Amino acid sequence: MTVVRTRIAPSPTGDPHVGTAYVALFNYCFARQHGGQFLLRIEDTDQVRSTRESEAAILRSLKWLGLTWDEGPDVGGPHGPYRQSERSAIYRAHADALIEKGHAFRCFCTPQRLDEVRKAQLAAQQTPGYDGHCAHLSATESAARAAAGETHVVRMKVPREGVCQIQDLLRGPIEIEWAQVDMQVLLKSDGLPTYHLANVVDDHLMGITHVLRGEEWISSAPKHLLLYGYFGWQAPQLCHLPLLRNPDKSKLSKRKNPTSIVYYERMGFLPEALLNYLGMMAWSMPDEREKFTLEEMVAHFDLSRVSLGGPVFDQAKLSWLNGRWIRESLTPQQFGERVAQWALNADYLGRITPLVQGRVERLSDLGAMTSFFFQGLIEPNPAELTVKGLDADGVRRALQWVSWRVEDTTPFTRDTLEPALRETAELLGLKTKDFLRVLFVTFTGKPVSTPLFETMELLGRDLCRARLRHAQTLLGLMTSKEDKKWKAELEAAEKALAEKKLAAAAAAVAPETPTL
RNA sequence: GGCCCGUUCGUCUAGUGGUCAGGACACCGGCCUCUCACGUCGGUAACAGGGGUUCAAGUCCCCUACGGGUCACCA
């Protein structure tokens, strides 16, 4: 019997997500329990969205949780490189092999044509999908056009009839008609593979035997199985785990729930408690005990104990569990050490004290003046969440504009935040001072405190996001109608501001022109 | 909308044909106690609905409803 090998394959396109940790945990436990290996691979084939910062943050967060891998971009291994952006040649060769065998073809269609086709299909109430336009180009024409440098993608061929049967470790057989499967792009016009190609090639080359992944992948499983078949490889066992959910049951998302592992770290959750909580999402110990370590989970892990209903990620129960870990598993000394590690450390304190030195009269003023640096969510007085010159809805809209800025401002530093938020004030047609006041209240709970931009940087994006969202909740969360409306209004304001600046620049130049 | 997956207390779950449907979080009440928290005792609360199969269905099958996912040159 071959050794079990599993993997987690995060895409470095954002904050470290608890869902990634959840899937990683199950893959880790499954591999360990069978005496196998668990590896980490970075799926950074999306050149536009992938960043090294995100990759580093994801590795850091998974390690913080106590998850380790036998092979990965940081530790190496015999099947590297473990970063897909460094494996382009491999995918290209495999795509070529598929073209040669007639399982894939070059597609020279323009995005515009694809768009038109899709619209027509939608109008005719058909399932949108590639119409096969380039599938029957002759090999010589295809090769010639590619050689001439014409931009193209590579698509896989898909049977038009019959059904694909997927054997899911948890769900048994799942049948999907081939007619439902699109002729997926395998190689993008930038020469990099899509997930579907890269994932299959790498899982095979890296000897992955079992793929435990989110339920969201079920519908694309036929493509993957088909590719394994085209290559003549044995496919790994597939197992689709239920998705973590928001309280409203939708797929866990940043918009509705904190999803970043860093948020939980900054909120003061213990890594062992968070990991423990993720372990009780869709899974339970045979004896139903709720508190358990990673080692205990590995020892008792059993895929058949995974339940299929999507579990709601419940902050309240996580907090309760975290409390248990704090009071049951830490000595007083260890507790002190954890607190120090968390925020009472020289680094954090050393960045805070300079902000208050000029504002204190006695050292004892420190506590009250900096309390919000050591809190999770704060309770601002709703009566203070106002802006001079704006009505209630105006404030709500302003906070939402800020929320978009908080997401878009990268890196999240004093120097990037200041211009971004000053501009937001300008877009709102407000005096910076009047506008910023509500942000002081939002982030620190008080209308006056340490300098806003430095404070935001120190709190970090995750805590700022949470406090902002909390303030928005107090005032009434944005409706989806408002979402669209406010977004459009923001774009209009940005456009107007850009034009105004352009005009001002032109006016500044104009006087130079001779008036003879 | 097409296709696919799912459905036990509000939430996380136990349950694999015979249980008074159990536990936990949250909530409510009692006790403990210098306050609070912890702890402890107790309470409210669920098999989505309808058909089958069976001596017997939360457990098996079908239909309906509801929820979710997916339909990209993103993963």
Q: Are A44 and A76 in contact (CB under 8 A)?
A: no
- Residue identified by tokens 């203070």 is A384
Q: Are A220 and A196 in contact (CB under 8 A)?
A: yes
- Residue identified by tokens 């009472």 is A344
The predicted pLDDT at position A86 comes to 96
- Bases of chain B below 7 A from a protein C-beta are 1-8, 10-16, 22-26, 38-39, 67-75
The residue lying closest to nucleotide B24, measuring its CA against C1', is: A290
Give the CA A287 to C1' B14 distance in Å. Answer: 9
Q: Which residues contact A384 (CB under 8 A, 6 or more apart)?
A: A438, A441, A447
pLDDT tens-digit series, residues A325-337: 999 999 999 999 9
Give the CA A53 to C1' B64 distance in Å. Answer: 50
Nucleotide nearest A182, from its CA to each C1': B71
- The DSSP line for A161-222 is SSEEEEEETTTEEEEEEGGGS---EEE-TTSPBPHHHHHHHHHHHTT--EEEEEGGGGGGHH
Nucleotide nearest A11, from its CA to each C1': B75
Q: Which residues contact A93 (CB under 8 A, 6 or more apart)?
A: none
Give the CA A170 to C1' B46 distance in Å. Answer: 24
**pLDDT tens string for chain A (516 positions)?**
689 999 999 999 999 999 999 999 999 999 999 999 999 999 999 999 999 999 999 999 999 999 999 999 999 999 989 999 999 999 999 999 999 999 999 999 998 899 888 888 888 888 889 988 888 888 899 999 989 999 999 999 999 999 999 999 999 999 999 999 999 999 999 999 999 999 999 999 999 999 999 999 999 999 999 999 999 999 999 999 999 999 999 999 998 999 999 999 999 999 999 999 999 999 999 999 999 999 999 999 999 999 999 999 999 999 999 999 999 999 999 999 999 999 999 999 999 999 999 999 999 999 999 999 999 999 999 999 999 989 999 999 999 999 999 999 989 999 999 999 999 999 999 999 999 999 999 999 999 899 999 999 999 999 999 999 999 999 988 888 888 899 999 999 999 888 887 877 777 666 555 444
Shortest CA distance to A109 belongs to which of A128, A86, A139, A131? A131
DSSP 8-state class, residue A255: T
DSSP 8-state class, residue A39: E
Nucleotide nearest A47, from its CA to each C1': B74
Give the CA A263 to C1' B47 distance in Å. Answer: 37
Nucleotide nearest A245, from its CA to each C1': B68
Residues of A catalogued as catalytic: 254
Q: Which two tokens stand for residue A204?
A: 């095979």
Pairing of strands A37-40, A172-177: unpaired
Give the CA A456 to C1' B35 distance in Å. Answer: 35
pLDDT tens-digit series, residues A396-406: 999 999 999 99
